[in-house]
Amino acid sequence: MVINRTQEDTLLALLNTTPVVEGTTHDALGTPSAGRAWARRHGGSGSSDELGCLIAVRDALQDVVRGEREPACLGEFLEGVSSVPDLSDGKLEWSLRAPEARRLAVETVLTWAGLQQARPGRLRPCANTECQRFLLDRSKPNSARWCSMAECGNRMKARRHYQRVKEAQSP
């Protein structure tokens, strides 16, 4: 499966719908209106069934990326899904067939699987243990550690600097 930047961004956006803000987890899909709006912004219908599927697949993907669950747990989201060939204008294209309420969730699982094959280890949790966000390292050296340099990166560097200064001043 060839994945594009939009699909990668949607996967990352879904994983990052439970950020910690001022010490409290906020769920961007937690209310029906917010969840429907999120789904519509990312190509979904915003139905209640779709929102339920998105929350379930998000929770499973977060656990898989963190290493807390095996990837096999994602199989349930792919049941009844198929890819159908279409030959037009001398070009072969594949169409995803999935129940409409599960289509966006299925696409995110397929994007995750495609990333695992094409760029293993690039999708990971933020190195800030107080953060629940994820990052997709698109850098050549694969050395990104934080979801955001401006937020977590700066905080973590400042924290390490403060600790070094404190240790240097200790008798």
DSSP 100-154: GGGHHHHHHHHHHHHHHHHSTT-EEE-S-TT---EEE--STT----SS-IIIIIH
Cβ neighbours of 74 (radius 10 Å): 21
* 77: amino acid identity, one letter: F
What's residue 153's pLDDT? 56
Residue 132 has pLDDT above 60, yes or no: yes
CA dihedral of residues 35, 23, 73, 1 (deg, nearest 10): 70
Structural domain includes residue 29: yes
Q: 97 by DSSP, 3-state: which?
A: strand
Structural domain includes residue 24: yes
Structural domain includes residue 134: no
- In the numeric block, the tokens 């107080």 are attached to 130
Structural domain includes residue 51: yes
Structural domain includes residue 18: yes
Structural domain includes residue 169: no
What's residue 44's pLDDT? 96
Strands 134-136 and 123-125: antiparallel
What's residue 129's pLDDT? 82
How far apart, in whole angstroms, are the C-alpha atoms of residue 159 and residue 69? 31
Nearest CA among 74, 148, 70, 59 for reference residue 111: 74
Residue 155 has pLDDT above 70, yes or no: no
Nearest CA among 113, 127, 9 for reference residue 64: 113
Structural domain includes residue 80: yes
Domain with 104, as residue range(s), is 5-123
What's residue 154's pLDDT? 59
User: How would residue 149 be classed by pLDDT, with cut points 50, 70 and 90?
Assistant: low
- In the numeric block, the tokens 């699982």 are attached to 109
Structural domain includes residue 129: no
Q: How many domains does the chain have?
A: 1
Q: Is the dihedral of CA 20, 3, 117, 113 positive or negative?
A: positive
